[in-house]
Amino acid sequence: MTGETWKSVQERWRHHGRVMLGIALVATLVAWACEEAHLLESTEHIAYDEALVRYTGGREKSGQVVVVAIDQSTIDRISQDPQLQLNFGNWPYTRTLWARIAQELKAAGARAVLFDAVMDERTADESADLGFAQALRETGLPFYVGMASSGSAKPLVRADFQAPVPLTAPEAAPPASPPDGDSFPEEFEEAPAPATPVLTPEALARALAFPVRRTDGRPLPRLGDTPSQPSSSPRYPVPPTSALVNAVNGVGLVDMEADGDGSIRRTSFAYTDGLNTYVTLPVRMMADLLGAKEVTLSGRTLRLGERTWPVDANGSAALDYGGSLQERFVMVRLFDVLNDWIRRAKGDTPLLPADTFQDKVVVIGGTAVGLNDIKATPFSPTEPGLVKQATVVDTLLSGRFITRASPGVDLGLTFLVALVSAVLLVTARWTLLEVVWPLALVLGLHALMGLLLKTSHTHVLMAMPALAGVGASVAALAFNHLVANRETQFIRQAFHRFMEPKLVEQMIRSRQLPRLDGENKEITAFFSDIRGFSTFSERFKEDPRQLVRILNTYLTAVSGALLHEGGCLDKYIGDAVVCLFGAPMAQEDHAVRACRGALAAKAAVDALRVDFHQKGFPDVYTRIGVNSAVNFVGNFGSDQLFSYTAIGDGMNLAARLEGANKAYGSVIMIGPRTYELAKDHIEVRELDRVRVAGKTEAVTVYELLALKGGLDASMRQTVARYHEALALYREARFAEAAAVLEAEAARSPEDGPTAKLLERCREYMEAPPENFDGVANLEK
């Protein structure tokens, strides 16, 4: 960033700082209000899902959790095998099947089993339930089943975890025996099942509930609450069958916990029905595996035994899926587990690899579409619901949940985005940036969200800061438009009298508005003055109105020639005219325009001189100075009066060149930079090398004679002879130079520069100068 650009930025900050801050504050408050009213919820869900998939997907498979899938092929294989169908029936299978699965998983070395289903209905063959319970007791395999909540379920009594758990006398039950035609090995035939225990209300409540303690005073969610809205009516847990309650190691909630759009993104770890507390199925299992007697929620921390996990302040957390179910977990068909049990019972070697279940937590659940357990997740709209349980178990074993950033962070980011948007667009005022910024803002926030999800498992809101940023951008553009309209009107009013109206409109249409606060830029300055204007005005001291009419006629002629070439009239100082080329409207050919304007002004004055001579008016012989340089242009003045002008050494030199014409007998003198920029378009005579007062460096000055190709043969000869004499003069060969000039003066006596240089050569012939360097001093 250049120094001038930085000055411009500071100027806009100083003038519009409060506006930028106000825009940011209003945009932040509007976005916050929309977030609080849940108007951005669906947008936030979409952004979160895309970021989660893009930045956290593709993780390697879990090494601690294996999924046993009740897939369509399992259902088909069992239904197509008469013996299996006879033994286990159609879906939902008899509990005998799950007894065999538990026996096989125990034999295969499974650490624990999480059964993502409820078993809250007694089967027609009660002995199958009792046989399943007996198998679980015999294997000793930690086995956990789900329970749902319902508005029609009966409330439980308060669970007393300190008192013993009494059972009533068991009811009689018929012995269990395998169905006719059972082809299983004799050693695995059903043993007589024990009687069905009848749980007391106190024992049932203790079996289903689990101690949960909040140390921060916040309430637990009620049963049936979802992340998007609370339950509309009281709900209570539906217990498994009595035969299983004491046979399984634990029971946990398996409610869906979906957001308002039906997608599963979060989980709460504990719920209450107002009397007892309950935990989700994965938490119930992990409590046993970690030896925890209670679940503790403290602020933003979940504790089980000695293990802790960061969670949100409300006791929930988002699930770090890491990919789809197939991508994240080893999948084993239920039929393959059953088949290995049959092979193992017959003495054959199981087909599954020996380490498939060794020391792994096994999650059993349905993946077949017909089981009605297909749910939506960020990774797929048709994902088996057991992916939630598997993900929670895997995270509790060795991962982290995704937690929301604190409200202060979200609000701070929102304000920062709004402020940056306002400052950037109000300061820059660049059309491309105005178009690209909103898109870049959204993409940048999306990338930020994704990177934070990946690196710190933190969910920073995107929709709220994006809305604030876009809103601030729109407000900034509206403000810019208002300011631009004001500036346009000011430019139109300020310059329409000093520039051709069509150029003013072109400058406005092309958005080449001048920076009124000032800027450094290269321009070409024009200065003109009437020779002997004091004497001129003296003649009209008795008739000042006539002087005004004559002067106005003169200024109109000169100004018209300059405006025609695109010049901007800077000021009139009596009879003097100051004009700028290249400002306020940028003109790459400002030097050429100034030269054409100077020649046109000279021609207009020559015609005016003839007219004035015929009317008996004084002569208006005019001298002109033109110089190109970098000057500081902008509005200068006081609170009472200011105007658009330029200041700098370049302007001073232009004024000096106008006055120096007197010493050289020339009409239009131009500086070296003007010659360099316009030399391909003009005819000039090199007059001399001069040193301006206060400067040590000498510059070459030129007389502007005509546009390219506009010199006649006589003038070309005059210029050639002058250059020949000038070269001799610079070598201090004054007599030889005078001889050349005398010959040319005799041929062209009206040529002023020839006469002036001849006069100087004669003077130096009589009194040679000391330390002559060929440079003339251009005094003030």
Give the tens place of pLDDT for each residue, 584-613.
Answer: 888 899 999 999 999 999 999 999 999 988
Residue 332 lies in a domain: yes
Model confidence, pTM: 0.66
If asked whether residues 520 and 655 sit together in one domain, one would say yes
Q: Where a domain ends, among 360, 385, 403?
A: 403
If asked whether residues 140 and 279 sit together in one domain, one would say yes
If asked whether residues 655 and 764 sit together in one domain, one would say no
Q: In the predicted model, is pLDDT for residue 10 greater than 80?
A: no
If asked whether residues 453 and 325 sit together in one domain, one would say no
d(Cα 247, Cα 133) in Å, to the nearest integer? 5
Q: When comparing pLDDT for 11 and 420, which is higher?
A: 420
Residue 44 lies in a domain: no
Q: When comparing pLDDT for 583 and 380, which is higher?
A: 380
One-letter amino acid identity for 306? Answer: E
d(Cα 226, Cα 256) in Å, to the nearest integer? 8
Give the tens place of pLDDT for each residue, 111-121.
Answer: 999 999 999 88
What is the pLDDT at residue 615? 86
Check: CB of residue 112 under 8 Å from CB of residue 397: no
Coil/strand/helix, residue 547 = helix
Give me the long-range contacts of 553-559 (CB less than 8 A, separation at least 24).
Answer: 553/608, 554/530, 554/605, 554/608, 554/620, 557/601, 557/604, 557/605, 557/607, 557/608, 558/528, 558/601, 558/604, 558/605, 558/622
* Apex 627 CA angle, 673 and 761, nearest 5: 85
d(Cα 238, Cα 386) in Å, to the nearest integer? 19
Q: When comparing pLDDT for 157 and 515, which is higher?
A: 157
Q: When comparing pLDDT for 290 and 20, which is higher?
A: 290
* Phi–psi pair at 183, nearest 5 degrees: -95, 5
* Apex 417 CA angle, 413 and 418, nearest 5: 115
Average pLDDT, the chain: 88
Structure tokens at 42: 């669906």
If asked whether residues 468 and 568 sit together in one domain, one would say no
Mean per-residue pLDDT for 364-378? Answer: 93
d(Cα 605, Cα 586) in Å, to the nearest integer? 28
Confidence of residue 174 (pLDDT cuts 50, 70, 90): very low
Check: CB of residue 170 under 8 Å from CB of residue 198: yes
Count CA atoms closer than 13 A to 598's CA, side-chain side: 37
If asked whether residues 390 and 463 sit together in one domain, one would say no
If asked whether residues 368 and 513 sit together in one domain, one would say no
d(Cα 377, Cα 262) in Å, to the nearest integer? 9
Cβ atoms within 10 Å, residue 86? 14
d(Cα 65, Cα 409) in Å, to the nearest integer? 35
d(Cα 661, Cα 465) in Å, to the nearest integer? 66
What is the pLDDT at residue 506? 56
Structure tokens at 391: 């993900």
If asked whether residues 699 and 773 sit together in one domain, one would say no
Q: In the predicted model, is pLDDT for residue 418 greater than 50?
A: yes
Q: In the predicted model, is pLDDT for residue 496 greater than 60?
A: no
Instruction: Give how many domains the chain has, as a whole number.
Output: 4
Give the tens place of pLDDT for each residue, 426-466.
Answer: 887 778 888 899 999 999 999 999 999 999 999 999 999 99
If asked whether residues 590 and 703 sit together in one domain, one would say yes
Give the tens place of pLDDT for each residue, 685-735.
Answer: 999 999 876 677 889 999 999 999 999 999 999 999 999 999 999 999 999
Coil/strand/helix, residue 303 = strand
Q: In the predicted model, is pLDDT for residue 625 greater than 90?
A: yes
Give the tens place of pLDDT for each residue, 500-543.
Answer: 565 555 555 555 555 556 788 999 999 999 988 777 777 788 78
Residue 50 lies in a domain: no
Q: Where a domain ends, among 403, 419, 434?
A: 403
Q: In the predicted model, is pLDDT for residue 485 greater than 70?
A: no
d(Cα 248, Cα 102) in Å, to the nearest integer? 11
Give the lowest-confidence range in 138-142, 227-231, 485-489, 546-550. Answer: 485-489
d(Cα 168, Cα 322) in Å, to the nearest integer? 48
Give the tens place of pLDDT for each residue, 184-237.
Answer: 554 444 445 555 567 889 999 999 999 999 999 899 999 999 887 888 889 999
Q: Tokens 């101690």 label which residue?
A: 211
Give the tens place of pLDDT for each residue, 291-348.
Answer: 999 999 998 999 999 999 999 999 999 999 999 999 999 999 999 999 999 999 999 9
Q: Where a domain ends, among 658, 683, 710?
A: 710
Residue 746 lies in a domain: yes
Check: CB of residue 415 under 8 Å from CB of residue 28: yes
Mean per-residue pLDDT for 394-403? Answer: 96
If asked whether residues 700 and 722 sit together in one domain, one would say no
Give me the domain span that covers residue 460.
Answer: 3-39+405-489
Give the tens place of pLDDT for each residue, 643-677.
Answer: 778 899 899 999 999 999 999 999 999 999 999 99
Output the CA–CA distances (angstroms, integers) from residue 360 to 112, 326, 330, 390, 394, in the order listed: 7, 17, 11, 12, 10
Q: Which residues pair with 295 in a beta bridge?
A: 212, 304
Give the tens place of pLDDT for each residue, 553-571.
Answer: 999 999 999 989 988 888 8
